[in-house]
Amino acid sequence: MPRLIVLYKPPEDTDAFDAHYRDVHTPIVSRYPNLRDLRLSKLAGVGGRESEYYLMAEMAFDSAAELDEALSSEAGAASAKDLRNFAVAGATMFIAPDEADA
Amino acid sequence: MPRLIVLYKPPEDTDAFDAHYRDVHTPIVSRYPNLRDLRLSKLAGVGGRESEYYLMAEMAFDSAAELDEALSSEAGAASAKDLRNFAVAGATMFIAPDEADA
C-alpha cells in the first residue's frame, strides 16, 4: 500500500505536541477519504545518537490515486494548515510507493 | 515489529548509488541476524515539492532485543562502515518501535 509519511522534528514541549497531535491533528487526518491505516511511531536513536526526528506518521491508502485524492481533499488542506499550529520545530514529508525496486 | 529505518538523501549519481545499494549494501544487510524483512522505497515528494530523501530502507525484526543484536553484529558493523562508500550525500537513521502511542 502506498504511504504518505510525515516525520516531525523533536518539539520543544513534547507534552503540548503530543496533546495537539492526539486531540486536534489526528481527528483531521482521520477524515482523509479512503485512509486505510494511520500508524504513529515515537522514534528512538541508534547507537547512542539522538534521533533527528521525534514522531513518524504513516498514512496508508489502497492506491496512489486515493492517496492523491486525500491530499487534495478538504481534510488534506486542513491537515497541511494545522502543521503551522504544532510542527514549529519542522517536519518533512514524502510518499513511499508500494514497491521494492531499489 | 520494531523497525530500523534509514533515509538516504538524494545522491549525485543515482545509478551508481542504486548499483552499490543492490550489489554491495543489500548483501551485507541480508546477513543481519534475525532480519525478518527488508523493505526499500524510492521516495516521491508531496504537492510538487521534491522529497528531502531519495530512498527509505526499513528493516524489521521480531523484537527490540533482536534489532539491537543485529546492530551490534558483524553485519551491523560492516553495514555502518559501508555507508561511507555510497551514502556520501547523507543519511539519517532511527528506530520505530512496534507501538502506536502518540
The CA distance from B32 to the nearest CA of chain A, in Å, is: 15
pLDDT, tens digit (0-9, with 9 covering 90-100), for B80-98: 999 999 999 999 999 999 8
Give the per-residue pLDDT at A98: 82
Within 8 A by CB and 6+ apart from B48, the residues are none
Q: Do B46 and A71 touch (CB under 8 A)?
A: yes
| ipTM score | 0.93
Residue in chain B closest to A95 (alpha carbons) equals B44
What is the percentage of chain B residues whose pLDDT exceeds 90? 93
Asked if the Cβ–Cβ distance from B46 to A4 is below 8 Å, we say yes
CB contact under 8 A, B40 and A101: yes
pLDDT for res A99: 66
For A35-45, write each residue's pLDDT tens digit: 999 999 999 99
What global pTM score does this model have?
0.94
Closest CA to A47 of B77, B62, B53, B27: B77
Question: What is the average pLDDT value for chain A, to the nearest integer?
Answer: 95
Can you give the pLDDT of all 102 residues of chain B as single tens digits? 999 999 999 999 999 999 999 999 999 999 999 999 999 999 999 989 999 999 999 999 999 999 999 999 999 999 999 999 999 999 999 999 986 443
How far off is chain A from B72, nearest CA to CA, in Å? 9
CB pairs under 8 A between A and B: 84
Helix (H, G, I), strand (E, B) or coil at B51: coil
A46–B22 CB contact, under 8 Å: no
Nearest CA in chain A to B64: A44
Of the candidates B21, B47, B52, which has its C-beta nearest A102's C-beta?
B21
HEC string for B70-90:
HHCCHHHHHHHHHHHHHCCCC
Residue A58 DSSP class: E
CA angle A76, A99, A9 (to 5 degrees): 50
Q: Do B53 and A101 touch (CB under 8 A)?
A: no
Query: Residue range A49-68: average pLDDT?
Result: 97
| A101 pLDDT above the threshold of 70 | no
Using an 8 Å CB-CB cutoff, list chain B residues near A18. Answer: 102
